[in-house]
Structure 1
Amino acid sequence: MVKSKVWTPKRKFDGKVQTSDFHLVEEEVSDDLKDGEYLIEALHWTVDPYMRTREVGNVERNQCMPGEQIANMTAYFGFLELCQPKEGDTVLVNGAAGAVGSLVGQIAKIKGCKVVGCAGTEDKCKWLKELGFDEVFNYKKVDLSEALKTAAPDGYDCFFDNIGADFTSTALKHMKLFGRVSICGQISMYNDKEPPRGVYPFMDILAKQLKVEGFIVLRWYPRWAEGEKDMAQWIREGKIKYKETIYKGFENMPTAFVGLFDGANTGKAIISS
């Protein structure tokens, strides 16, 4: 038998997730393998905001919280399949310095689009400019509607949404006729105890005849190899760049997870052994 370390929730999350909501336990894993079985040692792990929503209603106390080891096709399929970008389109990406948003912006540039991105710190905004984003702003320091108008006076053809709530309601007012919106994440609401109350954007969707669609990336799982091939080629060609925020030690996984909701990461948050 070998020992395996497991992080489990102590309780159902109540509002903003805290590191104290988890505890570390050890489990015994059999190394008496039968034909066709194998035992893997994990060296790297990833945490993502969606894991906060999976826990609600699905994970009981002391159960392992679902997650994955490292892989990311969300930007590729979620943007290309739903937004259907065309050369010359203007694309808006919020949460643009995150693991998904930073890739969406770069893919949009590969497709010949003008790209507007926003992030929550000056360092993150500087990095977005280095990635080739055409217009960048710190959403914490501006009037959002004015900033969106200044960055793209004629409006947006595509909007890749990672934040949700008030940001989404405001952004939809700046979409062009027949714009396309891909709803990827709603990180601004994951820790909320109650559904948000605000201005609902349904009249904007109707009047501008927008296509708005949410997605879970596993719908394209049968096409995974296609996305991996294109992304790997773009990385080799230098068209896609990335950053990783690396936490050393499995014991720091809750810190990495909580940090997602405080904007502590630039790019993908990774835990390494």
Structure 2
Amino acid sequence: MVTSKKIILGKHFDGMPQESDFKIVEEQLPPLKDGEFLAEAVFLSVDPYMRAYAHNMNPGDVMVGTQVAKVVESKNNNYPVGEHVVGKFDWRTHTISSGLASEVAGAGNAPAPYVIPNLSGLPLSYCLGVLGMPGSTAYFGLLDICEPKPGEVVVVSGAAGAVGMIVGQIAKIKGCKVIGITGSDEKGRHLVDVLGFDGYANYKTDNLDQKLGELAPEGIDCYFDNVAGEISTTVISHMREFGRISVCGSISSYNHDVKDPPKVGVVQFYMYENQLIMKGFQNYLYKDRAAEAFRQNLEWIKEGKLKYMETVTEGFDNMVKAFIEMLSGKNLGKAIVKM
């Protein structure tokens, strides 16, 4: 029998999650049945959505999440031993699966596990980032909703995160002027010097209203919103007529009680005055087109047009640490835990 570790929610968070809110539990896995395979975690993802999703969880539930895992035992011909798969296996070291999304606790709209194709020498962990959910979120959220045109001005909040840095680079590929909003000058300089953004604003130290006026005196055409709150209200106030807003996340509200969200400025005046379009989306709506984003992002990486960064934490026992640090903005790019 295999002994697996899993990390469960010990109690609901009060504001920022604490290490004491989680518990590491061991469990004995049963022998495989026909049609099942055993997956051993190799890389695990920590993402902002997990903080928001925790509101729907009960104490004792395993923390949700996706991982790259190696098939170490199999009675399913679709998942041969030695292959690596991406699956919604949550915060576990080992998972028994038959390849059905519906069997995974907290799976929601997650697809079935899939065997990783040839990555042309790129790290397997990229399947949790630029070649996975964050990459397709950036691709579809920008191109399908904002529909950026050459010469337009695109602003991205959470710009140094897993999704934001891809959004900005795709906007540059499409011929746009790109401004990133982030929480440190170090990250901002990285956006400009390494990733090719045209400018950045540090929301912690800059007067954002003034800074946006300096960086985009002509106004803003597209806004990719990862954070919501007053940052987004300020951005929207600078948008031009017929601007488009893609709402990907609401990081500024995740540590608040869902019944008592933070109060922010009114945006409706700017919405009707400039005839703006705002649309929220979730990545699972594009699951039937996921291969399109995978192929295009992979091609852009090979061409040197798309660069990607990861912040890697070693060890399953440091999952919670990595999660908290990611929510605190200490990561550059995708936050990953390596087994």
Into which bin does the TM-score normalised by the smaller protein fall? over 0.9
Structure 2's unaligned 5+ residue stretches are 68-127
Q: Which residue of 1 aligns with 2:169?
A: 106
Instruction: Give runs of ≥4 in structure 1 deviating > 6 Å.
Output: none
Deviation at 1:261, TM superposition (A): 2.1
What is the aligned-residue identity percentage? 47
Cα distance in 2, alignment partners of residues 87 and 36 from structure 1: 50
The aligned runs of 1:108-187 (5 Å cut-off) are: 108-129=171-192, 130-187=194-251
Alignment correspondent of 1:260: 326
2:336 equivalent in structure 1: 270
The secondary structure found in structure 1 opposite 2:166 is helix
Distance 1:80 1:136 in 2: 21
TM-score by structure 2 length?
Answer: 0.78
Q: Determine the structure 2 residue equivalent to 1:14.
A: 14
**Structure 1 position 82 matched with structure 2 position 80:** no
Q: Counterpart of 1:68?
A: 66
Deviation at 1:17, TM superposition (A): 1.3
Q: Does the CA-based 8 Å contact 2:203-2:231 persist in structure 1?
A: no
1:186-243 CA-to-partner distances (Å, cap 9, x unmatched) read: 1111001321113121111111111101111110000011110000000111100011
Equivalent-residue separation in structure 2 for 1:149 and 1:137 (angstroms): 11
Aligned to 1:214: 280
Q: How does 1:200-239 map to 2 (within 5 A)?
A: 200-239=266-305
Alignment partners' CA distance in 2, 1:131 and 1:263: 18
1:62 maps to amino acid? G
- Alignment partner, residue 37 of structure 1: 36
Larger RCO: 1 or 2 (CA < 8 Å, sep 6+): 1
Q: Which residue of 2 aligns with 1:54?
A: 53
Structure 1 position 26 matched with structure 2 position 92: no
What is the alpha-carbon distance in structure 1 between the residues aligned to residue 15 and residue 5 of structure 2? 26
Return the offset for 1:14.
1.7
| RMSD between superposed Cα atoms in Å | 1.0
Distance in 2 (alpha carbons) for counterparts of 1:177 and 1:198: 22
Unaligned segments of structure 1, at least 5 residues: none
- Residue in structure 1 matched with residue 111 of structure 2 by the alignment: none
SS in 2 for 1:99: coil
Paired residue secondary structure (2:306): coil
Instruction: Indicate if the aligned counterparts of 2:244 and 2:277 stay in contact, CA closer than 8 A.
Output: yes
Q: Secondary structure at the match of 2:201?
A: strand
Q: For each residue in 1:12-60, what CA deviation from the matched residue of structure 2 results, as whole angstroms up to 9, or x when unmatched?
A: 1122211211110011212x3233221111110001011111110x211
SS at 2:253's partner residue? coil
TM-score, normalising length from structure 1? 0.97
Say whether the 8 Å CA contact 2:165–2:333 is kept in structure 1: yes
TM-superposed CA distance for 1:126, in Å, is: 1.4
Using the TM superposition, give the Cα deviation of residue 263 of structure 1 relative to its aligned residue in structure 2, in angstroms: 0.8
Question: Shift of residue 84 of structure 1?
Answer: 0.5
